Structure 1
Amino acid sequence: MKKLFLPIGALALYSSAVAQQQSDRPNVLLIYADDIGYGDLSCNGTSAVRTPNVEKLASEGIRFTNAHCAAATSTPSRYAMLTGEYAWRRKGTGIAAGNAAMIITPERYTMADMFKEAGYQTGVVGKWHLGLGNETGKQDWNGVVKPNPADIGFDYSYIMAATADRTPCIFMENGRGVGLDPDDPVYVSYTENFPGEPTGKDNPELLRMHPSHGHDQSIVNGISRIGYMKGGKSALWRDEDIADSITTHAIRFIENSKKTGEPFFLYLATNDIHVPRVPHERFAGKSGLGPRGDALLSFDWTVGQVMETLKKLNLDDNTIVILSSDNGAVIDDGYKDQAVELLGNHKATGVYRGGKYSSYEGGTRVPCVIRWKGKIPAGVSDNLVSQIDWFASFASMCGVNLPEGSAPDSENHLDSWLKADVKGRSWAVEQNLHNNLSITDGVWKYIPAANGPAVNKQTNTELGNNPKADQLYNLLSDPGEHSNVAEENKELVQKMRDELIRIVESGLHIQPGYFISK
């Protein structure tokens, strides 16, 4: 493995004093993929789909092999990344419905607030899935829905309220539905259907893509979703155009920021490769792995488009680009799109067990690349790093003193991003679908005995839940977590259990529902 050594003089570039100077503050572009597993991108060596734009990015920066999101599902992972607080510390941070109230409330200090305080223009474009409005189910989708991302530090937002498989199927720009006709208002419900509206369950003849489980409620563009809606016909997205729309608005934000001369922070959250996977016609059939593989090509195209924009605007050298994913891979997540049948030798989670929803490494070990051209030497790092630390690390770079109580679980590990011989995190806590926690030091992985099903039968994902036995794995000799060595290493199990309990009990807000037996 190539080790990185950053000259002492180069480290000065990261000092708070230099970072605060207007001319030297780097832009920050965070490209956050959806459901892309460790092995889905060809830069990690196990993908059957070539992603050349990501490969180029990785070749110019640091590719991390031991990077983790904070949770194996979307909403808690995004919550933790933006707040610097593990989601399991707070009630109501599970997978959000499309009509959920905003989970990060305005009084919370977020990563976007931090960048704004440092003089950055801040924007979020793409998938949101953190709720909107004050009260679940009470949003007026035909007006300005508040609170929205503007209330937690984002100057600009162009987002999907939740995900592509959930209603409402419209984009929201700065809190307002895009393209809505006042004469055809949109209505959303997660309790009952609207009279006369067809559903996937009752009207399968209207579908062009059929659900494999769930996803059988309101039909939009021939695809049934989770949740009900009616109206808003002029505002409905066409699934094939979602990636183009997100990319276009991300580029527009970068271009507008360039005109002001101020640095920008852009949280670019792609819909790719979340279900329903309906990539644009120019990608359809090109991967050989069906719509899931084609969506990987679409994601790679988005990366190429924004990177070309940076280059065209002469922002390439002074922009830190981070690319990662919100959780691990899932193959069948609710639609019959031949993802399973056409998987072949593709290893979406690489050598790792489990996937989205799971306590095993496939749930939270995700692709991660950091690139600052000319400032960070290219290479590969096996440091244990966590997305929850982006907050405190960027605050250090920007010279921002975080308010007391903010980002309680985020640690400043800026140096470990820059040098492979600098130790990363000592411990990372991970959360699965059932709110069960596990802990790793990057070499050993401990999963406490905990209640819950062993397998998500709908997605055919091993979840890591075992109510009868602790699990301990050596990730260096057994990265696939096949050999449980807890019985032979009782002292280490106790040490890691104690550390996990210490971390959990160190928080001021502890959510009941996680399980750690004492």
Structure 2
Amino acid sequence: MRTILIIVFTLFIPVILSAVDAGERPNVVIIFIDDMGYGDVGFNGATGPRTPNLDQMAAEGMRFDDFYVGCAVCSGSRTSLMTGCHYQRLSMNAVLFPNSNNGLHPDEVTIAEMLRDTGYKTACVGKWHLGHLPPCLPTYQGFDSYYGVPYSNDMWIDPANNLSKNIIVREDLTLEEVRAGHKQRNLVPLMRDEEVIEYPANQKTLTKRYTEESIRFITQNKDEPFFLYLPHTMVHLPLAVSEDFENRTGQLIWDAIEEVDWSVGQILSTLKSLGIDKNTLVLFTSDNGAAVGSSLPLRGKKASVYDGGIREPTVMWWPGTIPAGQVCHEVAGTIDMLPTLAGLCNGKLPEKKIDGKDIRTLMFDVPGATSPHEYFILMHGPGTVRSGPWKFYPWRETNSGRHAIKDHVPSDDPIQLYNTVEDIGERDNVASAHPELVAELQSVYDAHVAEIKANQRPTQVMTRPENPVASPDMSSRRAGKPSQAIDWSNVKIGDVYDSSNSPIIAKRPFAISARIEGDDLSGIIVAQGGEVVGYSLYVKEDECVLAVRLSGQEIRRIKAPIISMQATIKASVDEKGTLSLQINNGEVVSSPGSLIGKHPAEAFCIGHDDKKLVDNESPRTPFKGKLSLLKVE
């Protein structure tokens, strides 16, 4: 039998690889609902809310019935999806708040960063919740643009957030009150990129506006590969719906679910109308179990590691590639999306360890394909292990709070084991009948905890300015405009190009050519990036300096003297990472270095550095002198 299975897999490998031919990489859309439960959708038996679009999506795609998230609450779950790592490996909190100081470290590779490095346009529309300040915002984590609420909608605004020059202030508040640190739960900011554009956000319109923003992004980028991450704010409390969905069902939670279903329908209809549906993979799932809605027939809800808190309603849709109407009963999860998309989209896996697995064989329904997870382990809360049909909990059963089941008497066993196929509601603890299996799963769990704790990586301290002020208006060069190539013959001091329009320097060599003149040359000639990664070319105290920031803490510099009022500068980082600098055809100065590992999130600036400096030793003033030539290749 083993020989037959190997032959079958070998025969199907060319089919899988042909689907990801370099010229036919799929667009990717991930729709991530907040707090939607397993039992909140029609294809899982919901009888309250109507979800015709999701039901049709399930009929046209593949349902994943044993699909898990990486955490039973917000930030931990999003960390797992974006990075393919258990959130504890990255030292992330399960839930971040507006007064949190740390966020997802920008050195970690996200799905967006991986795909952008291969040429994808990327956008995040919705709830981020992995850090609401630089350098943890989506635009620092691989997304060309961001539009949404930076954390849960029951939180408040952080006065450290930059306010747009054209901010809309609502609900009889004044701009002075906002700047003074107005704080009230359920009043949250709406952001575009790194700025607050509306406060408080009109939550009734969020689902509708997220959908419209997403459709604009899809339409603008229909002719090139794109990645849209749409993490909806709903159906998290406080619930809100637009006028078209008010009082449709008699229950606000059902109204909110129906509006999310409408949103999904709009996205899929757009893909079909543009003729790109057959080249687009859409994943629909939720970040954790139901808070208000239903996780039935599963046990538990949001915040629980019983299946009701972490097993989600999930559909993968890719017409003509993912077989329609199928149901996958193998264990998989959001943690698997990064390695899977790497395989589908010719992306490069991170050099640092991740925990997810490639599930393409499950997506394509390859005969004999099984879960790549012999053990799917979560450390959230008291912890759990899923292995085949078995679900193990290394703790005593309780029947209260988030774990409660009506009319159920918990067992006296100090640990729990359930067969989730025969007992989907996890009511019959059979641990005492399977002592060898219990011992095996306990050992696996203990080893997992020890390995994670021994190899944790740090979070990032966010930048919280002491006296934040409104930022310059950036709407003219942002707001999802298509990328345009830089016209090097017309660049001038003061120009700013956002990250998506900047030279692509991640993991590749680059060269800078510049010609300057003046009586007292000083200041930044060109800078790309900021406090995470980037480079800066500047003049200070009669020296030209090329500074390359490889990470938040590592900067390499080389210097060469400028001894005349005119200078032609050639600076470069070669394929080996060596930094070189030459002035007026003089001696070439070089120094070992490294290629910049990721594309800078901050802008490309000529004659200045507009936000956080790439090099804190560089002048803070604009370039003093004439710039007659600049080109980055």
TM-score class, shorter:
0.7 to 0.9
Is the contact made by 1:436 and 1:450 (CA closer than 8 Å) also made in structure 2? no
Q: 1:99 to 1:179 in 2, by over 3 A?
A: farther
In structure 2, how many angstroms separate the alpha carbons of the residues matched to 1:75 and 1:404?
23
Residues 389 and 420 of structure 2 are in contact (CA less than 8 Å); yes or no, is this contact kept in structure 1? yes
Q: Aligned residue for 1:21?
A: 22
**2:374 alignment partner in structure 1:** 426
Give the Å deviation of 1:71.
1.0
1:391 corresponds to which residue?
338
| Counterpart mapping for 1:94-243 below 5 A | 94-101=94-101, 103-133=103-133, 145-168=134-157, 177=164, 179-180=166-167, 184=175, 187=178, 217-218=184-185, 220=187, 235-243=199-207
Mapped contact 1:356–1:364 kept (Cα < 8 A):
yes
- Cα displacement (A) at 1:399: 2.5
Structure 1 residues 28 and 102 mapped into 2: Cα distance closer, same or farther (>3 Å)?
Answer: farther
Whether 1:375 and 2:321 are equivalent positions in the alignment is: yes
Q: Which has the higher contact order (CA 8 A, sep 6+)?
A: 1
Contact 1:355 / 1:461 at 8 angstroms: preserved in 2? no
Letter of the 1:93 partner, please give it: N
| Counterpart residue number, 2:209 | 245
Distance 2:303 2:410 in 1: 11
| Deviation (angstroms), 1:152 | 1.2
Whole-Å separation in 2 of the counterparts to 1:122 and 1:70? 23
> Amino acid of the residue matched to residue 158 of structure 1?
Y
Q: Per-residue CA shift, 1:199-235, capped at 9, x if unaligned?
A: xxxxxxxxxxxxxxxxxx4464xxx99xxxxxx8963
Which whole-Å CA distance do the structure 1 matches of 2:197 and 2:347 have between them? 45
| 2:567 alignment partner in structure 1 | none
Counterparts of 2:369 and 2:179 in 1: how far apart (Å)? 50
Matching residue within 456, 468, 491 for 2:436: 491
Paired residue type of 1:494 = A
How far 1:176 sits from its partner (Å)? 6.1
Please state if 1:444 is matched with 2:431: no
**Aligned-pair CA distance for 1:13:** 5.0
Amino acid at match of 1:361: D
Percent identity between matched residues is 30
Q: Would the alpha carbon gap of residues 249 and 176 (structure 1) be closer, same or farther in structure 2, given more than 3 Å must change?
A: farther
2:349 corresponding residue in structure 1: 402
Q: Which amino acid aligns with 1:123?
A: A
1:61–1:476 CA distance, 2 compared to 1 (3 A): same
Give the alignment's Cα RMSD to 1 decimal. Answer: 3.3
1:359 touches 1:465 (CA, 8 Å); kept in 2? no
Query: Is 2:227 aligned against 1:265?
Result: yes
- Paired residue type of 1:268: L
Which whole-Å deviations, capped at 9, do the CAs of 1:252-305 have from their partners, x for residues lacking one? 1111212xx2200111111121111111121112123x1101101110011011
- 1:417 deviates by 1.9
Is residue 356–residue 461 contact of structure 1 (8 Å, CA) maintained in 2? no
Residues 358, 461 of structure 1: 8 Å contact kept: no
SS state at 2:445 partner: helix
> What SS does the aligned partner of 1:39 have?
helix
In the other structure, the counterpart of 1:201 is none
Q: Structure 2: 5+ residue runs without aligned partners? A: 1-7, 190-195, 458-633
Separation (CA, whole Å) in 2 of partners of 1:186 and 1:374 = 54
How far, CA to CA, are the matches of 2:166 and 2:383 in structure 1?
Answer: 42
Structure 1: state its 5+ residue gaps. 1-5, 134-144, 198-216, 226-231, 332-338, 340-347, 512-518
CA contact (8 A) 2:340 2:360 kept: yes
Contact persistence 2:75–2:130 (CA under 8 A): yes
Give 1:488 shift: 1.8
Q: Does the CA-based 8 Å contact 2:128-2:138 persist in structure 1?
A: no
Distance across 2 between alignment mates of 1:103 and 1:450: 33
Q: 8 Å contact 1:99–1:131 — kept in the other structure?
A: no
Contact kept in structure 1, 2:98 and 2:158, CA below 8 Å: no
**Offset of residue 49 of structure 1:** 1.7
Secondary structure at 2:426's aligned position in 1? coil
Q: Secondary structure at the match of 1:487?
A: helix
CA distance in structure 2 between the aligned counterparts of 1:367 and 1:56, rounded to whole angstroms? 14
Separation in 2 of the partners of 1:29 and 1:243? 16
Q: C-alpha separation between the residues in 1 aligned to 2:204 and 2:410?
A: 37
Q: CA deviation at 1:450?
A: 6.7
- Per the alignment, do residues 109 and 218 of structure 1 end up closer, same or farther by CA in structure 2, a change over 3 Å counting? closer
Q: Secondary structure at the match of 1:88?
A: coil
- From the superposition, tell whether residues 18 and 67 of structure 1 become closer, same or farther in structure 2 (CA, over 3 Å): closer
Structure 1 counterpart of 2:481: none
- Secondary structure class of the residue paired with 1:277: coil
* Range moving further from structure 2, 30-39 or 494-503: 494-503
Q: Distance in 2 between matches of 1:303 and 1:186?
A: 37
Tell me the residue number matched to 1:300.
261
Equivalent runs, 1:318-337 vs 2, <5 Å: 318-331=279-292
The aligned length equals 434
Cα distance change of structure 1 residues 233 and 75 upon mapping to structure 2, 3 Å threshold: closer
Q: Secondary structure at the match of 1:322?
A: strand
Q: CA deviation at 1:179?
A: 4.7
In structure 1, distance between residues paired with 2:165 and 2:395:
47
* Runs of 4+ in structure 1 over 4 Å off: 6-11, 175-179, 185-189, 217-220, 459-462, 464-468
SS of corresponding position for 1:323: strand
Specify whether residues 235 and 417 from structure 1 end up closer, same or farther in structure 2 by C-alpha distance, changes over 3 A only.
same
Choose which of 234, 258, 271 in structure 2 pairs with 1:310. 271
> As a proportion of its length, which structure holds more strand?
2
- After superposition, the Cα gap between the structure-2 partners of 1:233 and 1:303, relative to the gap in structure 1 and judged at 3 Å, is closer
Deviations 1:420-442 (A, max 9, x none): 6410132212344xx32100114
- In the TM superposition, 1:318-357 aligns within 5 A as 318-331=279-292, 348-357=294-303
1:114–1:395 Cα contact (<8 Å) kept: yes
Residue 168 of structure 1: CA displacement?
Answer: 2.4
Q: CA separation of 1:125/1:186 partners in 2, compared to 1, >3 Å: closer, same or farther? A: farther
CA drift at 1:20: 5.0
The answer (yes or no) to whether the contact 1:74–1:326 under 8 Å persists in 2 is: yes
Counterpart amino acid of residue 296 in structure 1 = I
- Residue matched to 2:218: 254
Could you give the per-residue CA deviations for residues 133-171 of structure 1, whole angstroms, max 9, x where no partner exists?
Answer: 2xxxxxxxxxxx54421211111111211111111299x
Alpha carbons 1:42, 1:50 under 8 Å: kept: yes
Return the alpha-carbon distance in structure 1 between the equivalents of residues 168 and 291 of structure 2.
Answer: 37
